[in-house]
Amino acid sequence: MIEFRNVSKVYGNNHIALSNINLNIKKGDFAFIVGPSGAGKTTFIKLMLKEVEPTSGEILVNGINITQLKRNKIPFYRRNIGVVFQDFRLLSDKTVYENVAFAMEIADASSREIKKRVPQLLALVGLLNKEKSYPHQLSGGEQQRVAIARALANNPSIIICDEPTGNLDPDNSWSIMELLNEISKSGTTILMATHAKDIVDRMKKRVIALEKGVVIRDEQRGVYGYED
């Protein structure tokens, strides 16, 4: 469902961020993207989100060649991808409920759908009792759960996580990983860029390792493979 065909990205300063990437990621896969700083992980995520364009090659998502997607189709395409960041990025002036509902509102969901789905999502992430709380009243782990509920709001086929446990203690990190694992079992593809060696080593998921813009390793039950 995600296919990179000979994808390269060269930034304006002639810096090669990704070089001739070929990848196939199936529906429901859980894949870690690892590699040293500057290896190209963020560029990979930006290509998926169509925030940057490849210099050459093609990216297919659910059978659609996104490199040829018309500009007016991009917002619709992005609804199919939920994104979870290291720093949560919740709206501070909205409650937990409103943060999740807002993601559906901007995707034109009806108020009926919103009223039905938001409590379901909050139940899934274990935060139904916090729906009236504001982000600053929540722990980091709880904020990340809200971010995951928001990422799932429009029923995406893919969730991209950029260092989602980077601001969390080990216990909260593990409960977030268990939640992401459950989500992937229900058929949502999860791509997670991370430097968290312990997590990658214990999860025994697919590991795609980038170095200097090249895939140097792609293992089904892989390990982190670096010492940092």
Ligand X SMILES: Nc1ncnc2c1ncn2[C@@H]1O[C@H](COP(=O)(O)OP(=O)(O)OP(=O)(O)O)[C@@H](O)[C@H]1O
**CB within 8 Å of 179: residues ≥ 6 apart:** 125, 145, 148
The span of 32-40, 134-142, 143-151, 198-206 binding ligand X (CB under 6 A) equals 32-40
Nearer to ligand X, 43 or 144 (CB): 43
> Tokens 């993601």 correspond to what residue?
103
Q: Does 37 bind ligand X (CB under 6 A)?
A: yes
Q: Does 11 bind ligand X (CB under 6 A)?
A: yes
Q: Does 141 bind ligand X (CB under 6 A)?
A: no
The span of 10-18, 78-86, 147-155, 196-204 binding ligand X (CB under 6 A) equals 10-18
Q: Does 82 bind ligand X (CB under 6 A)?
A: no
Instruction: Please provide residue 8's backbone torsions phi and psi, each rounded to the nearest 5 degrees.
Output: -125, 150
| Shortest distance, position 48 Cβ to ligand X, whole Å | 12
Q: Does 130 bind ligand X (CB under 6 A)?
A: no
CA distances from 144 to 1, 4, 117, 125 (A): 26, 29, 18, 10
The dihedral through the CA atoms of 85, 89, 99, 140 has a sign that is: positive
The span of 12-20, 95-103, 164-172, 197-205 binding ligand X (CB under 6 A) equals 12-20
